[in-house]
Amino acid sequence: MSEATTVTPQPRQRWLVILLTVSLALNLFFVAGVAGTAIMVSSPVTPHERFEQIAAQLQLEQDQRKAFDAFTATMRQNEKALRDTTQHIWGELEQPNLDQARIGPLLNQTAENRADYQKAYAASLKHFMMTLTPQQRTRFIQLTRAVPERRGPAHIVRKFLPLSHRTNATTNTSAAPTATK
């Protein structure tokens, strides 16, 4: 007796195929989400990188580029001096017995370094600005005043959620007691 047999998927196999398909789809969405987040969350641009981007937009000539390089070198050198002094202060603050006699001079040194930084920065910036054309100078000021666009998850929350939905839950909203006379 020869009967034609048709292969019909058993209910178990059908559910297994459906389950594997759903699992594959969820995994693909997860991988795409991770990849999208990695693309959106770029590392913050350092001040040096930001100035390099600005210089590229200004299309500096050779003498202008030399003045720009001197300007950024002055910035980096003085920022390093400030960071070094600050690290010394933090090192002293980490000591079990704080010694005000050692911290005081470091704070004074930091203030002096900051004043030196501002003077050197201003002189170097002035020299660089003098090499720019009026149009480049205007564009430089516009670009340096512009706040770089923030990227990443926090930026998305700020962009799409109204401020009323982003309030801190730990903030006490009760009225402060009033003083009585």
* Interval 69-84: pLDDT, tens: 999 888 888 888 888 8
Q: Is the pLDDT of residue 7 over 70?
A: no
Write out the residue range of the structural domain in which residue 115 sits.
47-159
11 in a structural domain: no
Amino acid letter at 113? Answer: N
Torsion over CA: 48, 155, 147, 123 (sign): negative
DSSP H helices in 94-147: 100-131, 134-145
CA-based nearest residue to 56, from 136, 113, 133, 129: 136
pLDDT on residue 46: 76
* Contact between residue 45 and residue 148 where contact means Cβ atoms under 8 Å apart: yes
Q: 90-113: per-residue pLDDT in tens?
A: 888 888 887 788 888 888 888 888
Ramachandran sector of residue 180 (left: φ over 0; alpha: ψ -120 to 50; beta: rest): beta
Q: Is the pLDDT of residue 181 over 80?
A: no
Distance CA 75, CA 118 (A): 9
CATH number of residue 142's parent domain = 1.20.120
33 in a structural domain: no
20 in a structural domain: no
126 in a structural domain: yes
17 in a structural domain: no
Q: Is the pLDDT of residue 20 over 70?
A: yes
pLDDT on residue 28: 87
Q: Into how many domains does the chain fold?
A: 1
104 or 138, greater pLDDT:
138
170 or 115, greater pLDDT:
115
Q: What is the DSSP letter of 111?
A: H
**For residues 128, 130, 132 and 138, what is the CA-based torsion angle, rounded to 10 degrees?**
100
Computed over every residue of the chain, the mean pLDDT equals: 77
Amino acid letter at 74? Answer: T
* Contact between residue 88 and residue 106 where contact means Cβ atoms under 8 Å apart: yes
95 in a structural domain: yes
How is residue 135 written in tokens?
A: 């149009």
pLDDT on residue 133: 93
Q: Is the pLDDT of residue 159 over 60?
A: no
5 in a structural domain: no
**Position of tokens 């000539």?**
61
13 in a structural domain: no
